[in-house]
Amino acid sequence: MNRATPRLRALAALPFVLALAVHLLLFARWRDELPAELATHFSARGEGDGWTGPTAYVLVSTALLLGLAAGWTALVRRRYLWAAWATAGFAGGLLVQLLRANRVDDTFGPVVFSPGMDLGIALVVAVVAGAAGWALGSLVPAEAEPSAPGEADPSVLPLAAGEAARWSKDTGSRALTVLSVLALAAAPVTLLVATWPGALLGLLGLVVGVPGLALARVRVTVDRHGLTVRSALVPRPRVRVPLDGVEGAGVREIDAMTDFGGWGYRVRAHRTGVVLRSGEALVVRRGSGREFAVTVPDARTAAALLNALVERHGKV
Amino acid sequence: MLFRVDPASSVPLGDQIAACVRGALADGSAEPGERLPAARELADSLGVNVHTVLRGYQRLREEGLIELRRGRGAVIVPGVAAPDRARLVSRLREAAAEARELGLTEAEFLELARTSLG
């Protein structure tokens, strides 16, 4: 459910290609004037204190730009195109300043990279590139706006007077499962391989992996208690919207990036969501115009049942 | 999967729960290999006794539609044949109910079923 057009993606990749080309051209041009080891890390005073060979430098810097390009091309949205250009401008500007610092000062002693001056120049490049990207954004047709909130309260499931009903569905994110399992696996490996206290970093794997795995698969339930979203593995943590708090339920197509700015438990100004993928979502309107959304298949049945339960709850 | 039970109906609650699973399996809203809700959880949602839910699950197990495993709970049998089997069981139950309405005895119904097998 990705709304970026091929043209938008090309425009997002373009600044990184330009930065890469300029950087490699300058590297080739200044090749003879560069030292055998390039200063790539600097102390607070701007003196080089970390060094990299030229081949490694070219490989790492190219990988950096390509990585950023891939990320932005995959996730770009029209109104964030300027940020892709600004990122490329900043990264490209910084790399070029790095080359320049190595080239000029090699003969005079320690390589100096002035944080104020060189970072400032990179920032200026970023701003100029960002402005260019913003202007280019107008070349791309506007994306379709997400459909109006709760446009269709699809239906009300017919329930007999004393009839009890419950709907539930497990839904998950395979990517999140894989990442969490990897993070968990990293913990014991780090503890075995690394020396103390560096191995403490391995505990990060647990910190990331455990909640990750708990959220990777959730169970969405609609019953007489209302709407409940909880981990499919453990009963807590859970999010519950009681029947009292529900004004109506509907179904909507949700784009994780556009509508919620990412995946997971998302909190926005007027809406909260458990977003594990883009696509069909159960959207609940609560009092005071707030919304709660959860991406889940067969949301239509869930919404219809929730509407029926709320209607009956109101009558009692 | 949607569960619904109506205490006003003449059909026992456990059978109603079993019918929900059969229906969901037949219409594709439940898949082979899918885990059914824990009995306690479902009982709480529907406001019925845990034993009522377990009676429904037991029936489904006798019909070969679910497996009850210690620690894993109730799981719909895996395999592509499960939805068809669910439909067959539903039709058989309908036929049995009809026979009862017509006043057939159990022996007469079984005899009829044996004859249909050819």
Which residue type occupies A262?
G
SS3 for chain B is: CEEEECCCCCCCHHHHHHHHHHHHHHHCCCCCCCECCCHHHHHHHHCCCHHHHHHHHHHHHHCCCEEEECCCEEEECCCCCHHHHHHHHHHHHHHHHHHHHCCCCHHHHHHHHHHHCC
Residue A17 included in any domain:
yes
From chain B, the residues in CB contact with A225 under 8 A are 45
Nearest residue on chain A to B45, judged by CA atoms?
A223
Give the mean pLDDT of A282-298.
86
- Condensed to tens digits (0 to 9), the pLDDT of residues A198-238 reads 666 667 777 777 777 777 788 899 999 889 998 877 777 78
Pair A171, A311 in one domain: yes
- Considering the domain architecture, whether residues A184 and A286 belong to the same structural domain is answered as yes
Same domain, A130 and A171: no
The percentage of residues in chain A with a pLDDT greater than 70, rounded to a whole number, is 84
Residue that terminates a domain, selected from A122, A137, A152 = A137
- Dump pLDDT digits (tens) for A143-156: 544 444 444 556 88
Query: Cβ of A166 under 8 Å from any chain B Cβ?
Result: yes
For residue A279, what are the domain limits? Answer: 167-315
Q: What is the pLDDT of residues A4-21, one digit of tens each?
A: 677 888 888 889 999 999
User: Residue A200 has what pLDDT?
Assistant: 66
| Per-residue pLDDT at B43 | 93
Put simply, the answer to whether B46 touches A225 (Cβ < 8 Å) is no
Here the CATH number for the domain that contains residue A194 is 2.30.29.30
ipTM of the complex: 0.81
Q: How many domains does chain A have?
A: 2
Q: Is the pLDDT assigned to residue A287 strictly greater than 80? A: no
Structure tokens of A162? 């004393």
Among A147-161, A191-205, B100-114, name the most confident range: B100-114
| Same domain flag for A172 and A287 | yes
pLDDT at B105 over 60: yes
In a domain, A280, yes or no: yes
Q: Is the pLDDT of residue A1 over 70?
A: no
Cβ contacts (< 8 Å) between A223 and chain B: which residues?
45-46
The Cα of A313 is separated from the nearest Cα of chain B by a number of Å equal to 15
Chain A CB within 8 Å of residue B1 CB: yes
Q: Locate the chain B residue with the closest alpha carbon to A167.
A: B2
Please check the confidence at residue A157 and state whether its pLDDT lies above 90.
no
Q: Give me the percent of chain A exceeding a pLDDT of 90.
A: 4
Of A96-110, A220-234, A281-295, B38-52, least confident by mean pLDDT is: A96-110
**B 41-100 residues with CB below 8 A of A?**
42, 45-48
* Residues A248, A79: Cα–Cα separation, whole Å: 31
- Band of residue B17 on the pLDDT scale cut at 50, 70, 90: very high
Q: If you average pLDDT over residues A107-126, what whole number do you get?
A: 74
For residue A306, being part of any structural domain is answered with yes
| pLDDT tens, position by position, A266-281 | 888 788 888 888 888 8
Q: Classify residue A161: in a domain, yes or no.
A: no
Looking at the fold, whether A308 and A207 belong to one and the same domain comes out as yes
Which pLDDT score, from 0 to 100, does residue A213 have? 75
Residue A107 confidence (pLDDT): 57
Architecture of the domain defined by B13-116: Orthogonal Bundle (1.10)
Contacts of B46 in chain A (CB under 8 A): 164-166, 223-224
CA distance B88 to chain A (A): 24
**Which residues in chain B have their CB less than 8 angstroms from residue A163's CB?**
4-8
Q: Are the beta carbons of B4 and A164 separated by less than 8 Å?
A: yes
Residue A31 has pLDDT above 70, yes or no: yes
Residue A153 located in a structural domain: no
| Residue A53 and residue A10 share a domain | yes
- Does residue A173 sit in the same domain as residue A264? yes
Whether A297 and A186 share a structural domain: yes
At B52, the pLDDT band (50, 70, 90 cuts) reads very high
